[in-house]
Amino acid sequence: MAIVRRQNRQWVQLDEEPAANFPMSLYYIGAAQACNRIGAHAGPIALVYHGRSVRECVVKGGFATPGKAILQKLRKDPRFLRWMWHTTRQQARLILRFSQQVAGADLSALTDAELLRIYERWTGLALRTLSASTYGTVLEFEEPLLSGPLYEYLKGTVPPRYANDVGTIFTVLTTPTGVNENRTTEIKLIEIALKFRQVVPASSRKSVDACVRYCQARNPELLLTLERYHGRFSYLSYGYSGPKKPFAETIDDFFRHLKLSKTLLQRKRRDLIAANKAIRQQQVVWFKRAGVDAEHRTLFVLLRELAGLKRWRKKLMVRCQYLVHELVVEISKRLGISLAEAQTLSHWEMYTAIAGKLSRPYLRRRAQQTVVWIDGMRWKVLPFGEARAIISEINRSLQVKGSVQELHGMCACAGKAEGHVKILRNASDLPKFNAGDIIVSPATSPELVPAMRRARAIITDAGGITSHAAIVSRELGVPCVIGTKIATKVLKDDDKVSVDAGKGIIKRVQ
């Protein structure tokens, strides 16, 4: 597949997050297959991998054009959304069952051919799951094709007395309901802290190490309870490519809760349990107060359903990726390379690698920088020279000139805040974050959730209403502005800014 090198292509950066070629490329190939199913063309897309992170870029219109076709189909055919849910659930059962089988298998006893058959089977199931469930992502990824017009509709229809509450109303009406894993994990950890806080002596609450020593020596039941909790929920922080969350972090999370008073723990638990019921009640109330007509109510419900499907699918895929982690580890051992180097391989390259046709120096170089090019139903890993040319073209297109004093984005969770900026791209940036800082990120990911819980506000370059930042910020009640395009380019650590998330405005504070 020849890549046409044109200097005037305009690029849009959709996202930047910690991920490796495996499995990130599967998500975009699945999205391209989804577009192809309805007769639309996605791309060109360039996935630029550098170390443990990826910049996800598309030529302007590469997702907006198929996104408009998806929106048109959803509006004309209500059965399409039901098909998406039904097919995703069907495929979910298959890939989860297979992933659990892989996790329980002795992979070291398998031949290379058997290992590759497992790998091929899993990637096939992943692509079928993703191609049925990524329509909402494509719809909102490049441009807010559904959420944008709905926000503008609200601004024009709410009664004057609610004119300053548009952001809050929009947040409520677009928040998906249903089981919320972030709330569930928090509730369970609070319950463990409430159960054991009376038996853990004050001397063992002074440090994490003291707490661990106490558990090991005098309270094995608490240690076993935390191990079970870790086994049930630790996959949620795995993200796309790991690493797996160490048990020590779960101990640390428990210790933070243990230091809180019984009254505060009980109140937090009560509020979390009531949150889902409260959001449903608020949606009914605001539909009436804002004067939303029947047609737009249907569209708000559609947007919530798409966000809910994305949240459900992402949780499923993270769990499955967590379960097959050892499969990629075993492949890396067979190839005599590191796990990071193995994760730079696209799923179609594994056969070549196992056959010994990819040298170790080549794989090491690939681990430093790789560009995967996806154009409709064609995809490839670009040669190094061609990759450098595409990266230069993208950088020129995305360059920001001049000083920017005010940024604009879309409201994901209404609220106001003022504080100091911390640029967080991945987990390695977490040590510099302090409670009360304002997170500025290309796009948030599960590994940033501990900081998101303590942030005063969240700002992202990319993402729509179905993005991770939008969904999690609502769950946590943290003001959030998404889709600013340039926040990480014009802001730096310790800049002071004010955020009016309801209006989608960020201003520098002198």
- 3-state helix/strand/coil string of 202-243: HHHHCCHHHHHHHHHHHCHHHHHHHHHHHHHHHHHHCCCCCC
What pLDDT, on the 0 to 100 scale, is given for residue 367? Answer: 76
pLDDT at 236: 85
Please give the DSSP secondary-structure letter assigned to residue 34: H
Query: Coil, strand or helix: which one is 92?
Result: helix
Q: Are strands 406-408 and 505-508 parallel, antiparallel or unpaired?
A: antiparallel
Q: Are 456 and 500 in contact (CB under 8 A)?
A: no
Which residue's structure tokens are 């002071």?
A: 496
- Token match 């054009």: residue? 65
Residue 189: CA count within 13 A, CB half-sphere: 25
Q: Of 291, 300, 337, 347, whose CA–CA distance to 130 is shortest?
A: 347
Measured distance between the N- and C-terminal CA atoms of the chain, rounded to whole angstroms: 51
Cα–Cα distance, 498 to 491 (Å, whole number) = 12
Residue whose pair of structure tokens reads 């853990």 in the numeric block: 200
CA 427 to chain centre: 13
Neighbouring residues of 232: CB distance < 8 A, sequence distance ≥ 6:
188
E strand or H helix that includes residue 146:
none
Exposed / middle / buried, residue 40 (Cβ in 10 Å: 0-12, 13-18, 19+): buried
Domains in the chain and their CATH numbers?
11-140+310-398 (no CATH), 181-233+243-273 (no CATH), 406-508 (3.50.30.10)
Give all strands (DSSP E) within 324-368, no chain letters.
none
Judge contact between 189 and 255, C-beta under 8 A.
Answer: no
Please name the helix (run of DSSP H) or strand (run of DSSP E) that holds residue 255, with its range, or none: helix 247-258
- Residues 6 or more apart whose Cβ sits within 8 Å of residue 9: 59, 60, 393, 397
Q: Is-cis flag, bond preceding 450, omega within 30?
A: no
Sheet holding 45-50, edge to edge: 11-18, 53-59, 45-50, 369-375, 378-381
Which pLDDT value is given to residue 31?
94
Q: What is the pTM of this model?
A: 0.86
In total, the chain counts a number of residues equal to: 510
- The count of other CB atoms within 10 Å of the CB of residue 232 is 12
Question: Which mean pLDDT values do the consecutive 10-residue runs of the chain (510 residues) have?
Answer: 65 84 89 94 90 87 95 94 96 97 94 91 95 93 90 91 88 83 87 86 75 80 90 87 84 85 91 81 92 94 92 92 93 86 82 77 80 91 88 88 84 91 88 94 85 93 82 87 89 93 89
pLDDT of residue 41: 92
pLDDT score of 84: 96
The phi and psi torsions of 159 (rounded to 5 degrees) equal -60, 150
Task: Yes or no: say if 179 and 311 are a contact pair by the CB < 8 Å rule.
Answer: no
Q: Which of 30, 54, 123, 173 is nearest to 426 (CA)?
A: 54
Q: What's the rounded Cα separation, in Å, for the pair 173 and 471? A: 12
What pLDDT does residue 360 have?
A: 77
Copy the structure tokens of residue 337.
């390379």
Give the residue from 139, 130, 84, 49 showing the smallest Cα distance to 366.
49
Predicted local confidence at residue 468, as pLDDT: 83
Reduced to 3 states (helix: H, G, I; strand: E, B; else coil), residue 437 is coil
Residue 238 CA to residue 245 CA, distance in Å, equals 7
What pLDDT was estimated at residue 500?
93
Calculate ∠ Cα 208-210-212, nearest 5°: 70
